[in-house]
Each structure stands twice: as structure tokens, then as C-alpha cells.
Chain A
Amino acid sequence: MAIAPDLSGAMKGASVTLRRQKLSRLEKKEMRWGLAFLSPWMIGFLAFYFLPMIASFFFSLLDFNPAVPDQARFIGFDNWRRALFQDEEVWLSFIRTLHFSAISLPISLSFAFFLAILLNSKHVLGKTLYRTLFYMPSMIPLVATVLIWNGVLNEQTGWINVIIEKVTGIQATGTNGIRWLANPRLVYFAYTMFGLWGIGNAMIIFLAGLQGVPTELYEAAEIDGAGWLRRLIHITIPMLTPVIFYQLVLGVIYSLQYFLAPFVLNGGTGFPEGKTRFYMVYFYKQSFTFFNMGYGATLAWLMFIVALILTIILFGTARYWVYYAAEER
């Protein structure tokens, strides 16, 4: 990153000592201006990220309810002990979250990738229109998306079941039918389906990545007789691994914080059979329903540690599969 303005060019001709003094004075002035411009972020960083993070750790050592702040007690690592060794729900909710991401992330990323390839193909007519229409549901507020899908997946009257029944003849509607949101084995797939309405950004980013692959590579491969599938596996996918990696990291971090759909659909009760009591839902319950804020802060710090570990693991694997063309320059 070469960003420093080239002020030295304007100073040519000045004597060495003079130039030094002048530069350092100019440099100081430049620095002051720069810091002034950065100050909103620096204040914000201290006030809304750095200090709260430290404070959050401190809170995790307290038994604390904001309704009665006077009764706050310092209890050492009791909250941590409880979260790690005694409170089964912490692990269960964490495993549920991972289980759900293990289903939803691969499906939604592959779907976005598939759409991008389709919309990048020179054989598809009317691509701009499809791109707009595939992106459009991403603009719908997530609450509305969840409610629309809640309707369409309704076991009695939802169109998904009605269509499945009409097409396959299997009894899909009614109490013996496909209970998308009430069957513990199906509910993660149902939630994954809502998620597909938000893949617009991933699709656009993949599409831009695809358009950035140098065409010479494909031409060379074609001359060598590589078919469509081989070009996809040996050129397209490797060239897009940085984009896939970026999407994966963001996806993992966001899925740890998955909250909205279970909260909107069942108020965080975990229906069915606790399957949707994800980590963030449990954090919300402890912190803002029971107001156990000391314990809530512990859960939040645990989430941060897990997110950090997962990110480090992902970055650690990156050198085995992510291809950075820039490194060869």
C-alpha cells in the first residue's frame, strides 16, 4: 500500500538540511490533519469497541443484574466455570449453531456460486434482468422474508407442500405431511431456504470474481482440449478461491450470531425440540430476558473466542487451498 503523498517531489532543489526541517514540519502538519480526519473512527473505536470489550471481560467476573446494580458481586471465574463445565445449554446451543451452519453455509454458497456461473454464461439470454430478480429478495427486510417463507412452508396451506403433493403424489400437506418448521430434522433445511433469499451479495461478488478471471486462461485450456467441467475445476474454482474464502469467513462469523429467524418465528423457545435455540438466542435470553448480564458477558466473550479460533483456523487452512494471483507479481 503506497499511499503517502509524494510531497518530496515538490521540495526538490532545497538544501538537505532545510529540506529535512521543512519536511518534518510538513510531516507533522500532515499527521495532525490525518489524525483529525481519523478521529471519528478513533473515538468510536475506543468508545464502542475497545473499552466495551475490556469492560465486557470485567463484567464476566461479576454476578450482575442492571436492575439492581448495587447488588453486583465479584465472583471471580464462577461465570466461566458455569459456562464451560456446568451449563449444558452453552455447549448444546453452540453445537446446534455449528450444525446449522454446516448445513446452510455450503448450500447457500454453492447456490450463489451456481447462479453466478449461470449468469456469467454467454449462452444465457437476458442476464441483467435475471441478475436483478435473483438479487431482489436480498433487499426485502429479513423479518419480512422470514414471515413470507413461514407462510409458503406452512404444512397445511403453504405452496411448497401443495406443489410437492401435486407433482409427486406423496401426501405432503396436513399433519402427516412435511412439517418443515416443526420437524427437528427438517427445520435447519427450512431455515437454509430463507437464507437463500439473501444470497444476492455473494452472487454479485462471485459474478465479479468470474468476470475477473483472465480470458487467456480459458483460451489456452480450450486449445489444450479441456472441456467445460475441467475448466471449471482447474481454472474457475482456483481463481475464485480468494472470493470463496472471504465469503466463508464472513459466513462463519455471521452464522455464529444467527438470531433473527428463530426469534421472529417462535420467540426463541427453540421450537421444535430446542433445535433452534442457537447460541445467540441463548445469549439473548440470559442477558435480556433474565438480565444475567455478568453471565451474558461471559457468553459473549466465549463467542468472541470461538469466532477468533475459527477465523484463525480458516486463515491457517487458506495457504493450502486459496490461490492468490497477486503473490506471483
Chain B
Amino acid sequence: MLRTAPSSGHVIPKAVRVAGMRLALTGLTLAVLFLFLIPMVYGVVTALKTDNQISKTGAPWWPASERTFTYEGKEYDIYKVPIGGEIKEWALYKKGRKSSLFIDPQNPDAGPIEWEGSWRQLDRVWEPDPQWSNFPEAWNTIDFIVLLRNTLMYAGITTFGAVLSAALVAYGFARFRIPGKNVLFMLMLSTVILPGAVTLIPTYFVFLQIGWVGTWLPLIVPAFFSWGTNVFLLRQFFMGIPRDLDEAAMIDGASPLRIFISIILPMSTPALTAVALFHFFWAWNDFFGPLIYLAGHPEKFPITVGLTAFNNLYSQNTNLIQAASLISAALPVVVFFLAQRVFMQGVVITGVEK
């Protein structure tokens, strides 16, 4: 590339320009990230507050409680008292309309000090006091153990069924010559965008007739019949596995099932993991199905529906709601941090290679 050398001092050196760009763009990203995660910080901070602090105006943004001072066996509130150009942190000993008596906690032996002015105008003194006990309280109030057990069971069983069935079907689509296979494949993909409502009512009615409504079965059984997105992802991956291996095994007399179990599955661990993770978190997040099929059976609720019921009952206890929300988010977030590479690759396969 031909480029004339900079002839004057007006041209900014490239290194400086690059450094400037870096600073600006990294700064911009950090700023956006900060705004994006503010609600998260709010959730954590609020979960650590007392009810009292949340409802009080003038309370600090961080978890705190109002400081008190015990004098002669009784507790007195501490206020910020302006006196002689200074602000003293004194305990209010005796309230008066025009003047009040205060105790200096630094020097209680001096006895009550009179201060002219309305104590109602004064601000309280706050000290950091995170309420860690909100988390166990939320955990117990919402009966999280039961919700967790239900959710883990639901997510675990359906994940097993979804991965197994999707792998079988994907193998069928990836490796066998079947008349009309492309039509079937398109049909399968179209079920991915079919609004669930259109099949819901007859399905619900049948499940009701056979006595499955109010149990986990309507939620678990369909997972064993493979879902479009999962099949699509696995088929893409299976098609990338070289055929030479299966052909060699076929010549050795291995049946397709044998090839599937001992060649295809072991070579597809990343894709299978991705599907398992997707399905697990999908089930963890599932709301509509459990809402409809488990209505009236709170002992069977998964976390999502349980959390909603909890919110309806305790909507005044913002701190407990935030704590319970964070508890329900903890496991998915932790697993995501551990498995993010596999996870994001899976997202890319389903999203781009279409």
C-alpha cells in the first residue's frame, strides 16, 4: 500500500490513535455493561436490606441499619446534630418540640446535652448492616428445597429424554437414505416455530381424560419424543463426523445401533452437552406448562411457578422477593460460568447454520 509519509505535526501518530480508540471503545463497553447490570446490583443490595430501610426515605443505597446507643439500659436513636458548625452523632435522649436532650455516645458520663431545634429535621446515622439472614429466610419461606427438588427432577428427567430422543432422530436424519426425508426434515423444523397454543387445548383435554393433569407426566412424557431445535443441532454435528469411521465399522459387521452407540455418541460429546444444557435450562425456566398442568398442586410446583406464587403473597417484602429471585438464578448462572464455551457454540450452531 502506498502512503505518503506524514509531512507535518498535524497527523496524530498511529499508536496514539489506536490507544485513543481503545480507551474510547473499552470505556463505552464498560459504561454499557455497568448500566446493563445495575438491576443485578440492585437485586443483591436490596436482598440484604431490612424492610424498614426499604420503606424509609433518606436511607442510604447500601444495606444499612440505623445506629442506636444504649444508655442506662435503654436504646436511643442516633442523629446527626449540627452544632457550632460541626456535625455531631448524638443519641436522642428526650424529645422536645423546640429543644431536645441528647447524649454524646463518646462521652456519656457528661449526661444529657440540650440542643435547640426540632429533632424531626435531623437525619439518622446509618451503619452498614447487611441482612444475610434474608437469604435463609426467603429460602425457608418459599420452601425452596421442595421447589428445587421438583425443578431438578423435571429438568433432569426431561433432559435425559430430550437428549436421547434427539440423538436417535438426528442420527436417522444425518445418516440414512429415507424417501421423503427432506420433507420430513422441513416439517420437523417448522414445528420449532409453531405457536404452542394451537396444539395445547386438545393435548390438555386428553391428559385430563387420562388423569395426568395435576401430575408431572404431561410435562415429562413429550420430552421423550424429540424436539426440533435439539434434533437440528445434533444433526448438524453428526453430519460433520467423517463417514469413514461408520463405514469401516459397517464392513466389520456392526449394526447401525452399534455404530450410533460406539462411534457417533462418543464423538459428539460437545454437541450432546450443549443440547443437554439447553434443555436443562429451558426446563428450569419453563413456566407455562407447569402453570397449566400443575395448577392447584403447590407441592409439585417448580421454581418458576413457586416464585410467582411467592411474589403474589409477599409482594410487600421486596428484600425477600429479591433474595428468592437471586436464589433461583444462582444455579443456572454458576453452571453457565463453568460451561459457557460449549454453551455458546451450541447457540451459534442453532442460530447461524440455517
Contacts and interface: CB of A to CB of B under 8 A. Distances in A.
Q: Does chain A bind chain B?
A: yes
Contact of B177 (A34, A49, A200): A34
Interface in B9-59: 18, 21-22, 24-26, 28-30, 32-33, 36-40, 42-43, 46, 54-55
B29 A300 contact: no
Interface string B175-202: 1111101101001100101111111111
Given A48-B222, A149-B39, A159-B38, A34 B176 contact: yes
Given A31-B178, A141-B304, A288-B295, A152 B195 contact: no
Size category of the A interface is 35 or more
A61 B223 CA distance: 30
A9 to B, nearest CB: 9
A51 B205 CA distance: 13
B225 A307 contact: no
A6 B195 CA distance: 38
A182 interface: no
A152 B188 contact: no
Nearest to A194: B39
Interface in A141-169: 141-144, 147-149, 151-152, 154, 157-160, 162-163
B172 interface: yes
Contacts of B133: none
Interface in A186-243: 196-197, 200-201, 204-205, 208-209, 212, 223, 242-243
Interface stretch (A12-20, A257-265, A269-277): A257-265
Contact of B202 (A55, A152, A283): A55
A30 interface: yes
B347 interface: yes
A118 B29 contact: yes
B158 interface: no
Interface residues of B, number: 101
Contacts of B150: none
B333 interface: yes
Interface string A121-155: 10111100011111111011111100111011010
Given A31-B178, A152-B38, A152-B43, A5 B243 contact: yes
Secondary structure dominating the interface of A = helix
A217 B145 CA distance: 55
Contact of B25 (A118, A152, A196): A118
B214 to A, nearest CB: 13
A93 B188 CA distance: 30
B354 interface: yes
28 contacts: A5-B247, A34-B178, A36-B172, A52-B200, A59-B202, A66-B208, A119-B29, A126-B26, A130-B30, A133-B36, A135-B340, A136-B336, A140-B332, A141-B285, A142-B287, A143-B308, A147-B322, A147-B325, A151-B39, A151-B318, A152-B43, A159-B38, A163-B38, A247-B351, A283-B197, A296-B201, A300-B197, A304-B194
Given A33-B176, A140-B329, A147-B324, 17 more contacts: A3-B173, A4-B177, A5-B246, A38-B173, A41-B225, A42-B184, A45-B191, A123-B24, A136-B333, A139-B336, A143-B308, A148-B43, A151-B46, A200-B347, A260-B288, A303-B195, A303-B197
